[in-house]
Structure 1
Amino acid sequence: MSTRGTNFFDRWMAEHLPGVGTNDPAALSALTDQAMEAAHREGIEVAEIYEEVGSVFEAIAKAMQHREASLADEKVHDLLAARLAREARITEEQAGDLIERFGTDWDSLLNEAHFLKELEGRLGQE
């Protein structure tokens, strides 16, 4: 793929995919058509994009799957942080930090959260 084709396709996906919330093949096909029409309007030959990507449809579908997995991971992280904050009586920011540092094992998170709360209590007494 030419640098011009790569840059166009990456930019197009960054501008158009975040607002799309579907993996419906018909919708992905429409997105593929839109991308190719936009490339044509900018004077970029479809061959410049197909050389590296092969299937624009598949590239868009993979990008959507990756995005949905990332959004799901983020949602799970947020839900877990909220639960940990509630149960351990720490802030959601502290809970999020603990999840980032120690992973998602619930018992470990509770232990660390209680340790943090106890440490804050001791520091507050001094």
Structure 2
Amino acid sequence: MSRRGLDFFDRWMAEHLPNVLTDDPLAVSDLADEMMKAARREGIPASEIDEEVDSVFEVIFEALQHREGSLGESDQAVFELLSGRLAKEAGITQDQAGALIETIGTDWDGLLREAHFLKKQGE
């Protein structure tokens, strides 16, 4: 996935998934379609996203399934997207973001709170 594609995908998930509470495959499919349409509107072709993510649907579905829990080894793409977004948004390193995800799970509000606390301690 290109850096531009990865940044878009990661930003889109962080902005849209916290407001979604579903495990309905049709709703997840609609979210995947919505994300791809948003990418096209920003001039990002599907090929830039599909280079590393075999299935946008699967990544979104896994992110929704593991929102409150920890990520398994098979969820590496979700882990990388989430840790990258957390690092960028909170101003911490991606290693620090990854450690937080492994420690407290994938609850976005909790991750942000802990990341901001971590950053303040490092200042």
With the shorter chain as reference, the TM-score category is 0.5 to 0.7
Amino acid at match of 1:44: I
Partner of 2:67: 67
Once the 2 structures are TM-superposed, how far is the Cα of residue 66 of structure 1 from its aligned partner? 1.5
The size of the alignment, in residue pairs, is 70
Superposition pairs for residues 95-114 of structure 1, below 5 Å? none
- TM-score, normalised with respect to structure 1: 0.54
Which is bigger in relative contact order (C-alpha 8 A, separation at least 6)?
A: 2
How high is the sequence identity, in percent, across the aligned residues? Answer: 66
Once the 2 structures are TM-superposed, how far is the Cα of residue 65 of structure 1 from its aligned partner? 1.2
Partner of 1:84: none
Inter-CA distance 54–39: structure 2 relative to 1 (3 Å threshold): same
What is the alpha-carbon distance in structure 1 between the residues aligned to residue 15 and residue 7 of structure 2?
A: 12
What is the alpha-carbon distance in structure 2 between the residues aligned to residue 24 and residue 68 of structure 1?
A: 17
What is the alpha-carbon distance in structure 1 between the residues aligned to residue 65 and residue 2 of structure 2?
A: 25
What is the alpha-carbon distance in structure 2 between the residues aligned to residue 69 and residue 35 of structure 1?
A: 24
Superposition pairs for residues 1-126 of structure 1, below 5 Å? 1-69=1-69
The DSSP-based 3-state class of the residue aligned with 1:52 is: coil
Where does structure 1 differ by over 2 angstroms across 4 or more consecutive aligned residues? Answer: none
Q: Flag the structure with higher helix content.
A: 1
- TM-score, normalised with respect to structure 2: 0.55
Structure 2: runs of 5 or more not aligned: 71-123
Once the 2 structures are TM-superposed, how far is the Cα of residue 41 of structure 1 from its aligned partner? 0.1
RMSD: 1.0
